[in-house]
Amino acid sequence: MVCGLIFASPIVFSQIWRFVAPGLYRHERRLVLPFTILSSLCFLGGAAFGYLVVFPPAFRFFVGYSNSYLTSLPAVSEYFSLSLHLLLAFGFIFEMPVFMVLLARLGLVTPESLSRHRRYAILINFIIAAVLTPTPDVVNQLLMAGPLVILYEISVVAVRLFGGGKGRTKQDSPDTHSVE
């Protein structure tokens, strides 16, 4: 089921964007396909990063209490729970640049505000890493907080490049039932 969700993520993100699209202005609707593709790539990249980079040290920590007197035999459900938690957590945190560009396109954030509040964002990123990391060790928390901070910086650059920097104007009125 999890593999199905991960492999179907392009369709899931497409459906989410299609649900949101009717509430968007015409120029914003053109961005549905690029946002769908980028969302899917970011989610899959985050899941791959979580499984290939973070999962090995997290699992070593998980079974690291073994010694000559105590043997760790994790159940399949514990292994599956740890891997699922990491896949989903990293998949979602890698969505940050796409989400920030969307917020910028809607006029809710600016590159200047993101830069000005960088200290708070770094603190919040470390708190998020402490909450989302399934194991209580510092190494795994840093393996999540590090990418979060890097993704925040990528988000600042992406907002500068693609954010649009403009709020909604009267000429960008939504498509309502108008008679032409």
Q: Which band of pLDDT confidence, cut at 50, 70 and 90, is reported for residue 35?
A: confident
pLDDT of residue 166: 52
Domain boundaries, the chain: 42-64+75-166
Q: Which tens digit of pLDDT belongs to each residue from 69-84?
A: 767 666 777 778 778 8
Q: How does pLDDT run across 17-33, given as a tens digit for each residue?
A: 778 778 777 777 777 77
Using one digit for the tens of pLDDT, what is the confidence trace for 130-180?
A: 888 776 778 878 888 999 999 999 999 999 988 765 544 444 444 444 443
Backbone angles phi, psi at 68, to 5 degrees: -70, -20
* pLDDT attached to residue 150: 94
Phi-psi region of 13 (alpha: psi -120 to 50; beta: other; left: phi over 0): alpha
For the entire predicted model, the pTM comes to 0.73
Cα-Cα-Cα-Cα dihedral sign, residues 129, 131, 135, 136: positive
Q: Give dist(CA 178, CA 67) in Å, integer.
A: 74
pLDDT at 76 (0 to 100): 76
Amino acid found at 105: R
CA nearest neighbour of 65 among 76, 73, 56: 73
* Confidence check: pLDDT of 66 > 90: no
